[in-house]
Amino acid sequence: MGNGWRLGDTFIKRRLVEDGPSSRAIYHYTTKVIEVRENFIEALDGFSLTDYVYIRSILPNGYRTMFRRPRYGNSIIIIDGKDGIIIPMMSYDILAHDPDVAKFYLRPFRSKLGLRDLDDLKNNVIVSNQYGELVEAKLVKTQYFPYFRELQGDKPDLSIVLRYNVNNKWVIKNYLDIYGKYYFVLTDFKSRNVLFLGYVQDIYGIIPPIKPEKEFIDPWRAHTIPVDMAGGDWIKLTDHEWAGAMTQSAAELEKLEEVLEELVKRNVFKAMATVISYTSNIFVVYVDFYVKPYTLNDKTMKIIENIKSEIERIEKLETWEIIKNVFNL
């Protein structure tokens, strides 16, 4: 779809322009990549070639854009102008997460900007995000932004399978990977080709309002937990269900997922989401189910109570399988 993609029941345009009395903003999917007000940059974000083109299209006089597009790795954008050197948040996460990576990205810009390494970057650059916040780079804590080429072999913090009943006619199915504060909408989990991406908080409501947090068992082992945020009309049915490879409990969870999808098809629920949390053990994941009811009437509540009773039965099976696994019974 050349002009956008559907995520759940929402069509998200590839390019959206907002014009105000004295301002203009351009969105690339859910990310505001630039807002200009009275010939000054009000907000700036992004990293890609498309972001670069959108930014240049309305960049005021007195600013110049610099673009780095390596053969391997993500591209970045840097703005030099009357406000000093500004780097969009996404670009900053890409280039400043590691000192060696920073040197690689800055190499072509040394003579133009005088930036040699990560220390130079932190002390001489302002980081901007889509919300209009301008922060000194040394005060910004970077987050991991994966290379597109590594998505197939990388392990996300969370994965989401999203199912929506659209206009009571068909069920839309989406696949998402979550890395920290970023979401990636994928074609599927096999090829993991990226359709579009953005900040997770911009799609709360379309997806359950969750964020990933790492829980460390010891220095070598960890697993991710989806932490529920306040608000929203999603209902969580589960409690971080253990799903070991080739186990009966995992098979039962899969059957329950099929039942929930059928309830979406039959208009009992407007949507459902399967949230997968990863662990250090490649044979074990944790699964959570969320549903979005049309209305919370007595009939719907009764269905939800019956589902939770079934989940309690599966949880007892999980507990027994974990005990067998630990003690090698």
pLDDT value of residue 326: 64
Contacts 24+ apart (CB under 8 A), 211-215: 211/181, 212/157, 212/158, 212/178, 212/180, 212/277, 214/157
* Angle of the 99-106 helix axis to the 89-96 helix axis, nearest 10: 110
Q: Which of 139, 168, 189 is the last residue of a domain?
A: 139
Whether 219 has a pLDDT exceeding 70, the answer reads: no
Distance CA 174, CA 118 (A): 37
Among 74-88, 126-140, 219-233, 251-265, where is mean pLDDT lowest?
219-233
pLDDT value of residue 328: 62
Q: Indicate if 307 and 179 belong to the same structural domain.
A: yes
Q: Please, which residues have CB within 8 angstroms of residue 327's CB and are 6 or more apart in sequence? A: none
Q: Indicate if 120 and 177 belong to the same structural domain.
A: no
Give residue 260's Cα distance to chain centre. Answer: 24
Distance CA 7, CA 4 (A): 10
Q: Indicate if 177 and 296 belong to the same structural domain.
A: yes
Whether 132 has a pLDDT exceeding 90, the answer reads: yes
What is the rounded average pLDDT of the residues 49-58?
97
Residue with tokens 């509540």: 301
Among 3-17, 120-134, 190-204, 228-242, where is mean pLDDT lowest?
228-242
pLDDT value of residue 65: 94
Q: Indicate if 65 and 214 belong to the same structural domain.
A: no
Q: Indicate if 270 and 176 belong to the same structural domain.
A: yes
pLDDT value of residue 111: 86
Q: Which domain holds residue 192?
A: 148-327
Task: Assign 76 a pLDDT band (cuts: 50, 70, 90).
Answer: very high
Q: Which of 83, 107, 139 is the last residue of a domain?
A: 139
Task: Assign 83 a pLDDT band (cuts: 50, 70, 90).
Answer: confident
pLDDT value of residue 20: 87
Q: Indicate if 321 and 185 belong to the same structural domain.
A: yes
Whether 19 has a pLDDT exceeding 90, the answer reads: yes
What is the rounded average pLDDT of the residues 160-183?
92
What is the rounded average pLDDT of the residues 40-58?
96
Q: Which of 120, 139, 158 is the last residue of a domain?
A: 139
pLDDT value of residue 72: 83
Whether 255 has a pLDDT exceeding 90, the answer reads: yes
User: How many domains would you assign to the chain?
Assistant: 2
170 CB burial (10 A radius; 0-12, 13-18, 19+) = exposed
Three-state DSSP state, 287: strand
Q: Indicate if 234 and 154 belong to the same structural domain.
A: yes
Q: Indicate if 97 and 157 belong to the same structural domain.
A: no
Q: Indicate if 319 and 172 belong to the same structural domain.
A: yes
Percent of the chain exceeding pLDDT 70 equals 96
Task: Assign 281 a pLDDT band (cuts: 50, 70, 90).
Answer: confident
What is the rounded average pLDDT of the residues 294-298?
89
Report the amino acid identity of residue 202.
Answer: D
pLDDT value of residue 49: 96
pLDDT value of residue 2: 63
Q: Indicate if 169 and 296 belong to the same structural domain.
A: yes
Whether 302 has a pLDDT exceeding 90, the answer reads: yes
What is the rounded average pLDDT of the residues 148-168?
87
What is the rounded average pLDDT of the residues 52-66?
95
Whether 220 has a pLDDT exceeding 70, the answer reads: no
Q: Indicate if 170 and 236 belong to the same structural domain.
A: yes
Q: Indicate if 153 and 247 belong to the same structural domain.
A: yes
Whether 1 has a pLDDT exceeding 70, the answer reads: no
